[in-house]
Structure 1
Amino acid sequence: MNGLDGTSYKISGEQFINGKWVAGRSSRRLDNRNPYNDEQLLDSSFASIADLDLAYSAANLAQTSWKHLPTAERVKLIHNLASIMERRSGEIIEWLIRESGSTRGKATFECFHTINMVRESGTLPFQVEGKILTSFKPGKQSFVFREPLGVVGVISPWNFPLYLSLRSVVPAIALGNTVVLKPASDTAVTGGLLIAHLFEEAGFPEGVLNVVVGAGSEIGDAFVEHPIPSFISFTGSTDIGRGVGRIAVGGKHIKRVALELGGNAPLVVLDDADVEVAAHAAVVGRFLHQGQVCMSVNRVIVDQEVYPTFAELVQERVSKLAYGDPDLDSTVIGPVINQSQLNGLLRKISNARNDGLECLFGAEAQGLVLPPHLFGRVNSSHELATDETFGPILPMVIAENEGHALQLANATEFGLSSAVFTNNMDRGLRFASGIVAGITHINDITIDDHPNAPFGGEKNSGLGRFNGHYAIDEFTRAHWVTWQKGTHNYPF
């Protein structure tokens, strides 16, 4: 369904600044295309640095009145946003399919998972707590208040554009901040412009959310180093995240930063695992959204005792995966996001074949649709096991025993998500405690995200945690305030 009058949003590619739709002033243009059939979705001007400055100024101007708006009114707007998203879910899903190459199943999941997160975010203002501290000075009272940070800058990626934009935007706004959002150019609509229309319809005041669609090479650094935002939330690659962190912390205007970066999630199959369940999980965890998920199973580490059976079961499942048109209900694997992404994947496949790796399944690309590829007995030092592939390629690595499996699981610069399969809970918990990662699932896929559970990584997978009360720590600051009555006995 669409709006109350049955109409869909008319998305032109204009920027959303201070509650108004305005043309971007960059000389560069956005050519936004459907990755499956190359249909042009938008042709519009990018935002310039001048547009970015207007967006930050609008957010800054709006923040004081927004943070003082009664909590019940802020929460009412968030609930209204969730209701509008639910009513327009069909429209949102269609955009996710057309713009991001999401299969219908993935797009539906993303849409409703995001709606649940928005509703959960409406509880955050009621979870904010202050403290009364014991004072060391007679007659002095000591308090700690949690207050909004001010203006938050959000840079979101293209793989789960709706969810990964709103996961930062809505909690930040719920807690009294205002936001400038820069979505990925490949998903300018589902990561930004569609969201702006939803906020506009929900009735949020001007300037609370501003959306600028611009080229990273033109406004990326300025977005981070601008003097107005006090917090930058970035989700994307580790290489770009390093640059964001350097500018945010080491630049002229020091600010807080949350970085949700790359991953190299291991799925470990121990010798006592239910091999059939583990094989099913490995295939789903790798090939959901063409493997373009930071939590995706990037490598499977299998105990040598169960490897032959496991590899056979995985090969059987992979050979039956339907790929092609993402709009069809039966399609599991749709297109990758763009030609550059495909070229990188094809290079990895070619390198693997030239290196003599055992290819158990694979086929030629059809446009941007890359069929699933499965490689067996991959050396743990090969790029398929060490790099974040971000595509429909699954390498299987053999471990000698449990200790070796743990060593292999931790042999990476990343530490976002992970999984281990075993029929012994104590063994699973012990193994999980040895993995250096922000997330470990026992007997489940590596891809999971709950609105009340901490989401974030270790090592080069980033800094900070999202969701639930963990988001309160990120999007608010502690403010120590004291009150003294009477005269002071100062030493001079």
Structure 2
Amino acid sequence: MTLPAYDGFTGQYINGQWVSGTAGRVLEDRNPYDNTLLTEIAMAGCDDLDRAYEAARIAQRDWAMTLPKERAGIFHRALRLLDQRREEIISWVIRESGSTRMKATAEFEAIHAGMAEAASLPYLMHGLIMPVDRPGKEARVYRKPVGVIGVISPWNFPLHLSNRSVAPAIALGNAVVLKPASDTPVTGGLLLAKIYEEAGLPAGVLNVVIGAGSEIGDAFCAHPVPRIISFTGSTEVGQRIARVAAGSTRLKKLGLELGGNAPLVILDDADLGMAVEAALVGRFLHCGQICMSTNRIIVDAALHDDFLEAYCAAVSGIKYGDPNAPDTMVGPLCNTAQVRSVTSLIESGRQQGFDLRVSGEIDGRIVPPHVFAGVTNDSRLAQTEIFGPVAPVICAANEAQALTFANDTEYGLSSAIITGDEARGLRFAQGIEAGMTHINDITIHDYPHVMFGGEKNSGLGRFNGHWIVEEFTTDHLVTVQR
């Protein structure tokens, strides 16, 4: 059965109602590839934010009391809707975020898997009965939802990275206020609200506010209602959120998934074809606009020249341009500010005299793949999270220097190693200062039941599986004296 397409993406979703924002400003939501107008949204002000948090606070009381099967049922119905609306959802991701069809399809599969995992979470809220050194006394630890969670999501994987927090929060009995990025208000929030509304989620359990970070961002984080702020985005903004939340009248827990500078380390015994493929996909998927994207390619000197020749040949064959074409790998960058940032980094690499092996003319928001060789690990090009289709290749004298280079960064999110010796790869992986390391694979992975999170300036807390249960619930000790 074909369902009528979702529409009405013109305002806020608060307490189960689609309403206009009161900020007095309109957000023009445009396709980053051809600049066509997708919708106009009346933006939220602080009054709208207050209403959203209050609606969430009230709705959460009853939602927390629902049976596990009722909460799981929401996700089972949402999964059926995803299947029925697959092409509609993928099309929105392409048009609003500039995602290629390849990446948008991968994002759809990620949210589908996340919904399926969320359906199991209501049954994981188990407690403990513990002995106490006193006759007739028992200690019981009950696991409960925390209450209201504020979620701020980014524009690069908007649907998935919103739902990665929203779905488990709701499944565990919390209510949510979601603020998506202004570049992706529909796929980052309003489209998700439509799906949950159609799946039968009660009013007020999920609320979506579309507003400028400069206008409602601080109020969102400092508001007294939310117990947790879950943020995915840049390290700079994450640090500001931590400062603002610390000044709130109510202490908050923070879940921060921040920037990355993922190294792909290619050791001297690596399979050359595997190394080239990992560096190609890991760097250029979604134009490199992924926190886990391969930001530095560190190659052992023994394999460096052969790798560089094969890699540049492969990168030169990448198709870039129209994101809706099925074989396009590199589409447009999401916004003009990102184009300026990437252009500046390319110019920095040129000025430092690095060897520009692959390049092309920038056309609007389409930045062709670039490859720099001879890059030094302490350079701006290597130390900056590029978030664009630019690949710095760094030569390491040996395995020890490769590990030093890999760890010489303020970030510690994802990483990967290519090697012909699994035991060697495991030893190397355990020396990397990162939350996640992948052996003989790309740096980009996020499975809904497997731990996800970073070290150093890449964030605080963990996502997925029982790790997110720990993050989004709280323990209550009750003792019984018989």
TM-score bracket, normalised by the shorter chain, equals over 0.9
Relative to structure 1, is the Cα distance of residues 133 and 249 closer, same or farther in structure 2, using a 3 angstrom cutoff? farther
> Are residue 430 (structure 1) and residue 427 (structure 2) matched?
yes
Partner of residue 211 from structure 2, selected from 210, 214, 217 = 214
In the alignment, the residues of structure 2 paired with residue 93 and residue 465 of structure 1 have an alpha-carbon distance, to the nearest angstrom, of 27
* 1:69 aligned onto 2:78: no
Correspondence for 2:472 among 469, 475, 478: 475
- Asked if the contact 1:11/1:194 (under 8 Å) is kept, the reply is no
Superposed, 1:66-465 pairs within 5 Å as: 66-465=63-462
Q: Which amino acid aligns with 2:80?
A: S
String of CA shifts for 1:31-65, please: whole Å, max 9, x gaps: 11100000011222210000000000000000010
CA distance in 2, matches of 1:93, 1:133: 49
Q: Give 1:452 shift.
A: 1.1
Are the counterparts in 2 of residues 417 and 438 from structure 1 also a CA contact under 8 Å?
Answer: yes
After TM superposition, list the pairs within 5 Å mapping 1:7-22 onto structure 2.
7-22=4-19
Q: What do the CA deviations read for 1:144-169 (whole angstroms, capped 9, x no partner)? A: 11100000000000000000000000
CA displacement 1:151-205 (0-9 Å, x = unmatched): 0000000000000000000000000001000000000000001011111111110
Shift of 1:12: 2.9
Distance 1:163 1:360 in 2: 34
Q: TM-score, normalised by structure 1?
A: 0.97
1:402-454 per-residue CA deviation (whole Å, 9 max, x = no partner) reads 00000000000000000011111111000000001010000000001111110
Letter of the 2:373 counterpart = G
Asked if the contact 1:100–1:158 (Cα under 8 Å) also holds between the matched residues in 2, the reply is: yes
Contact 2:58 2:204 in 1 (8 A): yes
Q: CA RMSD in A?
A: 0.9
Any idea what the Cα deviations from partners look like across 1:370-411, whole Å, max 9, x if unmatched?
000000010111111101000000000010100000000000
The SS at the match of 2:7 is coil
- Residue 59 of structure 1 is matched in structure 2 by 56
Aligned-pair identity (%):
53
Query: Any conservation in 2 of the 1:269–1:420 contact (CA below 8 Å)?
Result: yes
Return the alpha-carbon distance in structure 2 between the equivalents of residues 442 and 401 of structure 1.
18
Q: How far apart, CA to CA, are the structure 1 residues paired with 2:472 and 2:244?
A: 19
Contact 2:2 2:84 in 1 (8 A): no
Q: Deviations over 1:444-468 (max 9, x none)?
A: 0000111111000000000011011
- 2:107/2:159 contact within 8 Å kept: yes
Cα distance in 1, alignment partners of residues 351 and 125 from structure 2: 56
Q: Give the Cα separation in 2 of the matches to 1:16 and 1:235.
A: 21
| TM-score normalised according to structure 2 size | 0.99
Deviation per CA, 1:91-114, whole angstroms, max 9, x where unpaired? 000000000000001101101221
CA shift digits 1:331-352 (9 cap, x unpaired): 1100000111101111111121
The one-character-per-residue Cα deviations of 1:275-313 (angstroms, maximum 9, x if unpaired) are 221011101100000000000000100001100000001
Alpha-carbon distance, 1:250 to partner: 4.4
Q: Is the 8 A contact 2:454 2:460 kept in 1?
A: yes
- AA matched with 1:17: I
Deviates most, 307-316 or 274-283: 274-283
Alpha-carbon distance between aligned partners in 2 of 1:177 and 1:371, rounded to the nearest angstrom: 43
Amino acid at match of 2:322: D
Measure, in 2, the Cα distance between the counterparts of 1:113 and 1:188: 19
State whether residues 151 and 229 of structure 2, in contact with CA within 8 Å, keep that contact through their aligned partners in structure 1. Answer: yes
The 2-side partners of 1:460 and 1:289 are apart by 23
Question: Retained in 2: the 8 A contact 1:13–1:193?
Answer: no
Structure 1 residues 137 and 249: alpha-carbon distance in aligned structure 2, compared to 1, 3 A threshold: farther
Q: Distance in 1 between matches of 2:293 and 2:49?
A: 33
SS at match of 1:44: strand
TM-aligned CA deviation for residue 5 of structure 1: 5.2
Count of matched residue pairs? 482
**Aligned partner letter, 1:332:** M
Does structure 2 conserve the Cα–Cα contact (< 8 Å) formed by 1:291 and 1:390?
yes
Q: In 1, Cα distance between the equivalents of 2:225 and 2:65? A: 19
- Secondary structure at 1:185 match in 2: coil
Alignment partners' CA distance in 2, 1:446 and 1:127: 29
Counterpart-to-counterpart distance in 1, 2:44 and 2:19: 10
Amino acid at match of 2:297: V
1:488 equivalent in structure 2:
none
Asked if structure 1 preserves the Cα contact closer than 8 Å seen for 2:348 and 2:381, the reply is no
Distance 1:238 1:268 in 2: 24
CA distance in 1, matches of 2:425, 2:107: 29
SS in 1 for 2:302: coil
| Contact 2:224/2:248 (<8 A) preserved | no
Q: Is the 8 A contact 1:11 1:193 kept in 2?
A: no
Q: Find the aligned partners of 1:287 and 1:232 in 2 and give their Cα distance.
A: 31
